[in-house]
Every structure is written in structure tokens, then in C-alpha cells.
């Protein structure tokens, strides 16, 4: 009897092959999924065993939520309160944006910042300080966090806000799970008159035009550009600018949509420069002549990719990498041109190339967004991809830019340090609050923020 109870209580856990959304790299990990805050604290207080890293929905692309053990927030997903007067919602860190929207939209409430997928958790959204199509006007996700409860590596909890435990707050927002497990958070909401977005698309013939349009529409609420990064020469950087704002008319309703799914990993060769070139051609051609205005249900507007469940399998069994960086405005055009030319020359393309302007950076130590222009590229994994990305790193750093940790699977510690000058402040805090190295990921080792070896030598 004691035996069976023990199996459940101490959580002998399943081992799984885990990866991020890019399916590169994979690790063999055991998954701990505590049922509540107390048992989560117990795991950290207990402190034994291989080190671990918090994990939400696994929507970061690379290795930021990978370690020998992952501490899943999946059962920390209760709503705690919705304050319609103060316009705040408080919920467990494992709650997804989708669940919040499901509750809020019918009541005319909306999240202030959304990523391109609604499947991410609040914990993941804070840990990556995610940005949306409105960063240039509204800032990033953590700019709308009133407070959160942080379970430190020691197992103690701390309530953190921009004023309370300020340094924990600034290190945890964008801190990729390294400062502790976020248990719950209070998020500010905004009011919307309808569940629809009035959306407009404007074609741009080349990079210069794309950037000019982004600047010109800097007052619009949602602004993003899709770029055909296989286009060359005078058409380099051609694309479509998408603008959006909340419609004044239209119902406040929740619609659940039928999803298609990709049940199997397709052979990666299906996505090659010819098929993708074709896709990009079509995409551009569709928008080329019209400057169209539409009323679009918010779900279709913000999360078009979510309707194809498991689309990451399209990149074949080797997976893919997403490469996202930001460049300051003054260096943006030349830096982007060089990047796009280098990519175009390599013949390795992108299914998705997204360009967007960021507003000013916030005070969080490792938050990615900073004033300038960000570009996101997808690359199918191939052994000769990594040298190309190293080459792109040089271009980005030379232009004074940096890379998004939530997308990263391969950046060197040197590249990271140059892009994030606050890294040593972060590391100093990390060493202070986690001397035993209880929390760490494959990424944090690679970036020189933790040492995998440290823990094994101590125990």
C-alpha cells in the first residue's frame, strides 16, 4: 500500500522526448507536473535530483524550456479573479492566452498584448516578455503585468511588481524561467467594443517601401509586414503591410473554429526554395493590386497559424529554427538589406518572414524588444544552416542589434552578451538566488548564464 501511495506522491514521472516548437533540439526529459502551488514549492524546497526548468506550452522555438527535468505549469491553470472595474484578471501561470480570451472577449475585455499564437501560457508570456503587433504603441506583455507570484529557486515565494521586489520583477520578465517558477499573475485588460478587427493590407514593392510604410503607419494600433525574402534585386524586401484596429461594430462573441491538423511529420523536402518561392509569389500577388479593408474575427486576425494544428511538422523530421532579431532604426535598412541578401544568396528561404517596428525598450533586464525594426525568418534545419546563421549574427551585431531568446536554439554566449549588456547584472542575481544551480536550461548553459556541470559536481 505504502508503495502505491508513494509512487503517486513523490511523482515518479514519465520520461519524454521533448523539444521546443521548432523540434530542434530534442532532449530526453522527465516531466514534473505538480497539482498546485504548494506541491510546486515542495519540489524546489526538496532540491534533490537533476536541475530543472519551468515549462509552459512549449511554444518557444528552441531550447529555453529544455532540461533534464521540466517543471510544467499545466495544472497551475485556474482563474483566480476577474475584476471588471479595475480591468484586471488574475490566473495561474499555466493559463493560456486562449483561455483568457475565451472568458474575456464575450465581456468586451481583451488582452493588451498577443503573440502570433494563443496557445502560449501566461508564465511563458512573462518569461519571454512577449510582444505583439502593437508593440510600437503599447509596449510588451510585462508592461501590462500588475504583479505576479514568483517561486524562487529556494522554494520561497515573492510577490513581484514594478515597485515590489523590483529587481526580481525586472529579472523575471524576459528572464526565460531562470529566476524561478511564476505561479500566478495579475494582468491588466483593455476594453474593446467588438470581437472584430478592421484590417487593411497595403502592398510594398521593396524593402525601402516596406520600412517607409511601417514608419508612416506608426500610429495605427496593429502593424506588421510580411516579407517575401526570396525576392531579389530591386524587389528585395517586397511584401504586404497589415494594419488593424478594433472595430467599433460587430458582436462580442466567442467562436470556436474547426482546426485542421498535420498529424504526421511531412518529408522536409516538401518545403524547398521552389515550393516556398511559389507560396511567396502567390501571397504577394494576392495583395499586389489592392489596398483592401476587411472586418476580421480577432482569432483569424491574430492567430492565423493556430488553425493548422501542428504546422511545425511541415518542416520535416529534422525540425526548423526561427531567427528573430531587432535593429535600431538608423541601421535598420542597411542591416536588413544585408541580411535579406545573404539569405537570398544562400537559397535557404523562409515560409514566414515578418517585419515590424518596435517602440522603446522597457526596464527589464533581458527583454528583447527595443526601439527599431524586427525581422523574423524561419529556416528548415540543415547541417549547413548553422554557419549561415552565424554569418547573420555578425550582421545583426554590427548593426547594433540583438536576438530574441524565445526563438533561439544556437546563439553563442558572446553574441548573447553583446546584444544584452545587462547580462552580468542578471547573472549576478541568478548566482545569488540560485547558488545550487537548481534551475537552468540547455539555453542558459549555452549562453553562459548557468553551468550544467556545476550541479552534478555538487551532488
Partner 1 sequence: MNILLIGAGSAIATAVARRYAAQHSSLFLIARNGSRLALQQQDLLVRGAARVGTRVLDLLNHEEYETAINAATEFFDEEDIDLVLICHGSLPDQEAAEQDFDLARREIDINGLSVISLLTRLTPYLKAQGRGMLAVVTSVAGDRGRQPNFVYGAAKALVSTYLQGLRGKLLPYGVDVLDIRPGLVDSPMTQQFDKGLLWSSPELVARQIEKAIRRKRHTVYVPGYWRLIMAVVRSIPEAVFKRLKF
Ligand X SMILES: Cc1cc2nc3c(=O)[nH]c(=O)nc-3n(C[C@H](O)[C@H](O)[C@H](O)COP(=O)(O)OP(=O)(O)OC[C@H]3O[C@@H](n4cnc5c(N)ncnc54)[C@H](O)[C@@H]3O)c2cc1C
Residues making contact with ligand X (CB under 6 A):
21, 53-60, 64-65, 73, 93, 115-117, 120-121, 123-125, 127-128, 130-132, 176-177, 181-182, 305, 406, 441
Which one of 75, 279, 283, 311 is in contact with partner 1 (CB under 8 A)?
75
Partner touching 57 among partner 1, ligand X, none, CB below 5 to 8 Å by kind: ligand X
Write the CB contacts of 201 (distance below 8 Å, at least 6 apart in sequence): 240, 241, 242, 243, 287, 290, 291, 292
Q: How far is the CB of 433 from partner 1 (least distance, A)?
A: 27
Of 14 and 334, CB closest to ligand X: 14
Q: How far is the CB of 181 from partner 1 (least distance, A)?
A: 17
Part of the chain binding partner 1 (CB under 8 A), chosen from 49-57, 77-85, 202-210, 294-302 = 77-85
Of 285 and 305, CB closest to ligand X: 305
Q: How far is the CB of 90 from partner 1 (least distance, A)?
A: 9
Q: How far is the CB of 131 from ligand X (least distance, A)?
A: 4
Q: Give the CA-trace dihedral at 51, 55, 60, 66, to 10 degrees.
A: 20
Q: Is 412 helix (H, G, I), strand (E, B) or coil?
A: coil
Contact status: 38 vs partner 1 (CB under 8 A) = yes
**Cβ atoms of 64 and 178 closer than 8 Å:** no
- DSSP string for residues in 224-270: EEEE-TT--GGGTT-EEEEEEEE-SSS---------EE--SPPPGGG
- DSSP string for residues in 27-70: EEEEEE--SSHHHHHHHHHH--SS-EEEESSS-SSSSTT-SSEE
Contact status: 13 vs partner 1 (CB under 8 A) = yes
Partner touching 273 among ligand X, partner 1, none, CB below 5 to 8 Å by kind: none
Partner touching 176 among ligand X, partner 1, none, CB below 5 to 8 Å by kind: ligand X
Residue 24 burial (10 A CB sphere; 0-12, 13-18, 19+): buried
Provide the greatest CA pair distance for the chain.
74
**Cβ atoms of 241 and 225 closer than 8 Å:** yes
Which one of 45, 102, 191, 345 is in contact with partner 1 (CB under 8 A)?
102
Q: Of residues 142-201, which lie at the interface with partner 1 (CB under 8 A)?
A: none
Part of the chain binding partner 1 (CB under 8 A), chosen from 9-17, 109-117, 273-281, 319-327 = 9-17
Q: Which region, left, alpha or beta, applies to residue 30 given φ > 0 means left and ψ of -120 to 50 means alpha?
A: beta
**What residues make contact with partner 1 under the rule CB under 8 A?**
1, 3-4, 7-8, 11-16, 33, 35-36, 38, 75, 78-82, 89, 91, 102-103
Amino acid at each position: 500500500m505504502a508503495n502505491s501511495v508513494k509512487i503517486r506522491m513523490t511523482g515518479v514521472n514519465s520520461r519524454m522526448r521533448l523539444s521546443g516548437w521548432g523540434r530542434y533540439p530534442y532532449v530526453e526529459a522527465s516531466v514534473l507536473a505538480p497539482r498546485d502551488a504548494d506541491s510546486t514549492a515542495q519540489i524546489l524546497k526538496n532540491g534533490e535530483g537533476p536541475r530543472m526548468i519551468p515549462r509552459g506550452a512549449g511554444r518557444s522555438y528552441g531550447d529555453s524550456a529544455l532540461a533534464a527535468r521540466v517543471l510544467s505549469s499545466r495544472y497551475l491553470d485556474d482563474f483566480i479573479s476577474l475584476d471588471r472595474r479595475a480591468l484586471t484578471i488574475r490566473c495561474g501561470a499555466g493559463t493560456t492566452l486562449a483561455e483568457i480570451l475565451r472568458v474575456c472577449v464575450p465581456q468586451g475585455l481583451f488582452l493588451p498584448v498577443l503573440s502570433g499564437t494563443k496557445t502560449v501560457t501566461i508564465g511563458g508570456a512573462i518569461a519571454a516578455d512577449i510582444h505583439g503587433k502593437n508593440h510600437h504603441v503599447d509596449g510588451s506583455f510585462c508592461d501590462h503585468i500588475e504583479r505576479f507570484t514568483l517561486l524562487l529557486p529556494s522554494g520561497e515565494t515573492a510577490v513581484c511588481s514594478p515597485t515590489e521586489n523590483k529587481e526580481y520583477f525586472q529579472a523575471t520578465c524576459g528572464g526565460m524561467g531562470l529566476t524561478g517558477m511564476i505561479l500566478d499573475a495579475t494582468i491588466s485588460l483593455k476594453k474593446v467594443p467588438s470581437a472584430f478587427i478592421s484590417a487593411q493590407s497595403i502592398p510594398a514593392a521593396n524593402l525601402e517601401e516596406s520600412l517607409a510604410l511601417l514608419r508612416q503607419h506608426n500610429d495605427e494600433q496593429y502593424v506588421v509586414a510580411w516579407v517575401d525574402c526570396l525576392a531579389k534585386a530591386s524587389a528585395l524586401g517586397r511584401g504586404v503591410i497589415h494594419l488593424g484596429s478594433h472595430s467599433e461594430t460587430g458582436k462580442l462573441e466567442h467562436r470556436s473554429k474547426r482546426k485542421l491538423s498535420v498529424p504526421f511529420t511531412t518529408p522536409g523536402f516538401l518545403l524547398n526554395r521552389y515550393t516556398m518561392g511559389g507560396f511567396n509569389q502567390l501571397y504577394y500577388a494576392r495583395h499586389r493590386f489592392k489596398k483592401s479593408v476587411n472586418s476580421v474575427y480577432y482569432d483569424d486576425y491574430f492567430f492565423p497559424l493556430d488553425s493548422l494544428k501542428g504546422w511545425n511538422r511541415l518542416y520535416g523530421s529534422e525540425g526548423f529554427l526561427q531567427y528573430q532579431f531587432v535593429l535600431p532604426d538608423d541601421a535598420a535598412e542597411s542591416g536588413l538589406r544585408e541580411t535579406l541578401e545573404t539569405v537570398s544568396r544562400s537559397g535557404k528561404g523562409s515560409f514566414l518572414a515578418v517585419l515590424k517596428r518596435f517602440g522603446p525598450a522597457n526596464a527589464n533586464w533581458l527583454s528583447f524588444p527595443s526601439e527599431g525594426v524586427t525581422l523574423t525568418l524561419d529556416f528548415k534545419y540543415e547541417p549547413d544552416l548553422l554557419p549561415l546563421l552565424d554569418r547573420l549574427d555578425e550582421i545583426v551585431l554590427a548593426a547594433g542589434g540583438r536576438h530574441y531568446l524565445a526563438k533561439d536554439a544556437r546563439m553563442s554566449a558572446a553574441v548573447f552578451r553583446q546584444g544584452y549588456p545587462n547580462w552580468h547584472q542578471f547573472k549576478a542575481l541568478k548566482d545569488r538566488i540560485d547558488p545550487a544551480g537548481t534551475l537552468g536550461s540547455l539555453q542558459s548553459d549555452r549562453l553562459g548564464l548557468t553551468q550544467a556541470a556545476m550541479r552534478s559536481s555538487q551532488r
